[in-house]
Structures are given as structure tokens and as C-alpha cells.
Amino acid sequence: MSSFAPAVNRLSDIYGADENAQALRYARLVVTFKATYGSQPEFIARAPGRVNIIGEHIDYCGFPVFPMAIAPDTLVAARANGSDRIRVSNMDGTKYPPRDFSVAEMFEIDSTKHEWSNYFKCGYRGVLDHVSRQGDKGFDALIDGQVPAGGGLSSSAAFVCATQLAVQRIEGLSLTQAELASAAAQAERHVGVNAGGMDQAVSIMGQQDSALFIEFHPALKATPVRLPEADLPFAFVIANTLVVSNKHTTAPTNYNLRVVETRVGALMLAKHLGIAEHVVCASAHPLTFKVVMDEYFAKPNVGDINDDGVQGWVERLETMLRETEKAFGTHPHGYTRDEMAAALSITATDLSAKIHEDQFPVRADRFKILQRAQHAFSEALRVVKFRGICEQAPENAGLRLGDLMNQSQDSCRDLFECSCPELDEICKIARQAGSFGSRLTGAGWGGCSVHLVPANKVDDVKKALAEQYYAVCFPDLSAEQLSEALFAT
């Protein structure tokens, strides 16, 4: 059973050794709130960003992922104001000017406009849509975000989730963590991003000192997994390329296009396997690679597969990789819309409706179904193996985990095509300086990278990146800006 979001009274319960620095930040938030609205906030809601250690672009395929929450977070200080107005301000008021809405206006979200308060509205609407009611309480809110926007650490999910936590407190609701995570993933689609659910789940359900093995099908489930202890401990270094990838503006050619390619791939693979008309596949909205895999192995005479643990996953996923080659190998350069429609025995218009292109428009001449499917199944395989190594804790765990991360980066670059030259360069520098494994994290096309580094090499890796990447590409970066872009966790 999913638990409720915890409430704490001490910053040390959240930030540990960073308590003092955070205390100053919270104090500034409270002072600014009082100066803005005339009274102190009743409470402060918090949701962290996340780093996805491994499992990129497969949450919306239905496959498990392996992220962990990080210290950078979004805060929402809030107080009911006894009116029917909802006022929201930001600590960075120059970049994000204050807004004032009626309760009814909070449900009006124009996804064609890149407006910061749309994410606040998403959080508000997500909670109330989930309980099928209209809000009736006005309140004041002040936002402070430390997760870099467009950096691949899920700033949008942290914003939406923190807002949801504030709204449910104001409205007197008690949603479980799983309900909040699901509502947040649905809500972010109002700004035109076809979210898979990973970012929201780890922001709401993350735990200290553990990563999460998050499963999405048949139901959302988050299992804490501790990283293996070793004689030589290791840490994760986060390095931001400072190349901003805005999912809202690039979605038609990047993020949403990849979602569509995997969704059409699932439809075509189900037909290839002879299960498209099965009730499970025909009624799935959307049909994902995970649903197709599960239904295929539910068929009689498919072969005996071990259902238990890692080995069962491995056998299934390796089988699906072979079937993927059979299904799509004749089109290594991709499919046109007409070719995809013909393969599914439907019209191009029906295909557009099936992938909800009215909500999530995409632009492409050819859709690379083979490569996207190969990435999805092989990345899921790496996630499962990663968890297995963590739980078994072999002597060479760091090297083996790092190798999986390196394979993931290769797949993201070559098969899913969501890397960029800056990410490739950072990964190269980090590996040469001692990283076991380096890969992009988040949607890609810029943003952040994550590196599994032996504790005694952390300073070496950071120094190499500072000198060979940041000093070269961003010579005017201040020491404070560098510390925000490059840090260990």
C-alpha cells in the first residue's frame, strides 16, 4: 500500500550536513513571503529534482527505471488567503513575474505559450482533477527552485509535485504518494509534454540513501534499492552541459517524437507477434512495449521462461530484442507515415488520431522504429541487470555498474539519438579521469550527465571537467555557477 507524503519539522531530516545553508534559504523565503503578502506562510511544501542513474526514455514504454532524488529542490511557501484568488510569485521575480488568477482560471492552461505559471496550474489542476472536484480556496504562494531549468534533473516535475503537495494541504485532501505521482504525470501533459511518470514518481516517493527501482506496469511500484557497499566507496558526480533543452519547445522533434515512435513501434510489434487483437493489447491506451512483452509471454507455447527475479526479465527482454530485429529490420532507415499506416492496416489519418497528434504534435519525415525499439528493450535489460548487481554486491560492482552506464550512453547516442556533442565530450573527459561509468541523464539533447566515480577519484573527475570542459566552453563562469553545474552527490 502506498504511503502518504511525510511531514517534517527539522531541516536536518531532509538536508543532513547542508542544514545550515538551507536554513538561510528557508528564512529568506519566509521573509520574502511576508513582504509580498503581508503575513507568514502556513507551511512550505518541497519536492526534489532527480537524477536517473540508468533507464532513459523507457518509463513511457512501461519499463522500470532506476532514478534517485537529489538535494536540489523546489519549495512552495503557501497560505490560504480567505478569497477566491490564487496569487503566485517567484523568488526570481525578474525572470518569473507574479501572477494572479481566479480559481476558474487555474484550469485554463494554454500549452502553446511557454509561461512559467502553467506548471503551477498543472500542479493545482492535477490534484483537483484526480479527486474530480473544483477548488474553492484562494491562497498565496511563493516559489523557490534550485533545480536548473532544462538541465535534465526534472525541474518541471519538482515544480508540479511541490505545487500539488501545497494544493492538497490547502484543500484539505490526503492523496497517497502513488496518487500524487500519477496525478502529476497526467497534469504535465496539459503543457504539451507526454510525460512517462518517472520524474514525478521519484520526486514524490524518493528516499534518503537509496535509489528507486520504479515499475509502471501493471501498477506504479517503487522499491528502494541501496547501492552496494565496497571497500572503496563510490559517489555520483552530476555535470550540467549548460546546454538547455526545453522539452516544451523542442517536443515535436525530440521528446514527443520519441514517445510516438515507441508507441507506433508497440502497435506494429504486437501485429508482428500476432497478438494485436488480444483484448489486453486492443484495449490498452496507450499500448506500450511492456504490455506487448507481457502479453506475448502469456501466450501458450511461447516457451518456458523463468518468472522469478532478474533472470526472468533477461530472458524475456533478449527474446524481444530478437523479435524486434525480425519485425523492423527491413526498414533500417525508418518508416514514412504512410508505411506505418500500411503496416497497421489503417489510414494515415487514423494513425494520427491513434497517437493523439492533436495533443502532442510531431514533425518527422521518417520514424526510426527499429532503433527506438532496440534502445527500449536493451535499456530495460540494463536497468534490470543494474538492480541485480546492487542486490548481489559482487566485488567488482563499481566496474560492472559503470559498464552498464557506458552502454546506456552509447545506446542513447546511437539508437535513440538523444545525446549531443557536449554530453559526449563530458562523458569522455570523465571516463579518462577515472569515472567507472558516464551517461546523460534526463531527456538528453543537452542538460545533465551522471558519472559513477570511485570516492578517491571524485576530485580528479571534477577538476578534469572544470579545466577541460567548463573553462574551455564557458570561460566566464563564476565559481558559484560552476559549483551549481558540477557537484557530487
By annotation, the residues acting in catalysis are: 199
CA 291 – CA 230 distance, rounded (Å): 37
Phi first, then psi: give them for residue 139, nearest 5 degrees.
-160, 165
DSSP symbols for 428-446: HHHHHHT-SEEEEESS-SS
Residue 233 — left, alpha, or beta (φ > 0 → left; ψ -120 to 50 → alpha)? beta
CA distance 124 to 126: 6
Residue 215 sits at the vertex; the CA angle it makes with 212 and 221, to the nearest 5 degrees, is: 75
Per DSSP, 455 falls in state: G
CA gap 184, 445 in Å, rounded: 23
Secondary structure letter of residue 367 according to DSSP: B
Closest by Cα among 340, 367, 365 to 268? 340
Number of H helices, E strands in the chain: 19, 11
All three cell numbers of 452, joined, read 559513477
C-alpha cell, 461: 573527475
Pair 62, 216: CB distance under 8 Å: yes
Distance CA 321, CA 144 (A): 44
| Biggest alpha carbon–alpha carbon distance for the chain | 70
Given strand 85-90, what is the order of strands in its sheet? 43-54, 66-80, 139-145, 85-90, 99-102
